[in-house]
Amino acid sequence: MHPGVYIYFNMFPPPSAIKAAENLGFPYIQDVNSSDTHVLGMANMSYTMDERGYRNDTASAFLPPSLVKTRKNNLNISTGALVTKILFSSDNLSSRPRAVGVQVESADGPSNKREIMVNKEIILCAGAIGSPQLLLLSFSHKAKENGSSSGIGPKDHLSKMNIKVVKDLPGVGNHMQDHFGIPVIFEIPLNDSIIVLQKRPLTAIKEIFKFLISGQGLLTSPIHELSIFAQSHSLTADFANAKSGDKLDWTDSSNIPDLEIMTIAVGETDLSKMNKDTGDGGFGLWTGVVQPFSRGYVRLKSIDPRIAPSCDLNFLGDSRDREAAYAGISLSMRLKEEIAKLGYPITDVAVPKSLDPADLDAHITAQGLTLYHYSSSCRMAPEDDPLPGVVDDELKVHGIDGLRIADASIFPNVLATHLQAAVVAVAEKCADMVLNEASS
């Protein structure tokens, strides 16, 4: 976040939610990124903001127009373009294939297609879904001459799709992970919910002007302001041992939280589902299972790159993840009870009928959803690892020259946090390695 930027924290959720968490043994952490902080507790989230108070994306931060102009002789940015294939110099398994270019379609469609060749290397940054898809759709020049396809990935899947194997890499598209989210939803006073902007048009107009004039007000408040981090295995009926010292040491990997409880200022992600006929606002406590054992996969549906691949995230496929989800929902309901004990008006909207496994399962089926933290489908690990890797510790694809991957797909396991900052760190590390190698 840019120094001096105004963010309207402690509006959503109401202070009673913070007090309720403290009563249950979750201390407020001033700096969640500090190296000496406890692993258990609650903290405000960090956001990337510019000096004007606007959300700042990576394009704006790393490629502002002023920088692009100074590099126009060696930087070409193609927006709306679709990379359809990675091109290789060989499809002969007796020699080591080398990535030599990419096939690209412009935003106009397949009729406007070209090949872009490289002198040194290609860095694949298509994400945990797109990167494995492109590897599976890799294309050798010899295959092109024969009118056939070739790819990098599990040979059984490639053979099933009638794709010639450039490199048998079983890890490509496997071990896909994500954080699974399960909300419990409540109604609260309208003034304590950002839905006030939807239900009171005059308030919305006032807040728009406040933001445009001074950069302050409700429009600077993040919809997800606060998170509580917990360990499902340490939660007891009264949550007492959550405070014990041996559970707070961040240097012990077994203490890394596997649950995140997020306060969401609207309740429903789809605002149209909220009851507009009442004067109530929405509020949600969302359980995130952030250290899942379950793993899914990415597979091709078609050799047409315009057709999205098949993705099975296998949420809660491992029973340990389901137990963690149960613990997270139970903690959310306990937080709600504690909020009510403090005298704050809060009413159930979408909650489990009880905390019995059958009712929890029914709630999970009705409300569970992705948290969009797709990861680990081209994981960093040795090629012969029990969970086979796709890239080495320099982000280079095993057995392929001239090709690296730099996105969330390379994480060995999904991180127990939101992935944005870590993905940027991977990109910066990749840039350093490329520059160091070029200068050596």
**80 contacts 109 by C-beta, under 8 angstroms:** no
Sequence-distant (≥ 6) Cβ neighbours of residue 315 within 8 angstroms: 178, 180, 292, 294, 296, 321, 368, 370
Separation of first and last alpha carbons in the chain? 35
Beta strands 149-153; 163-168: pairing state: parallel
Closest CA to 335 of 10, 11, 38, 16: 16
**Catalytic residue chosen out of the listed positions 157, 363, 373, 398:** 373
Greatest extent of the chain over all pairs of C-alpha atoms, in Å: 74
Round to whole Å and give the CA distance between 98 and 403. 8
**Catalytic residue chosen out of the listed positions 157, 179, 363, 418:** 418
**43 contacts 227 by C-beta, under 8 angstroms:** yes
Tell me whether residue 104 is annotated as binding: no
Is 418 part of the annotated catalytic residue set? yes
Round to whole Å and give the CA distance between 222 and 199. 18
φ, ψ for residue 264 (rounded to 5)? Answer: -120, 125
Round to whole Å and give the CA distance between 60 and 230. 34
Is 157 part of the annotated catalytic residue set? no
The residues assigned a catalytic role are 373, 418
Q: Which residues are annotated as a binding site for FAD?
A: 83
Q: Which residues are annotated as a binding site?
A: 83
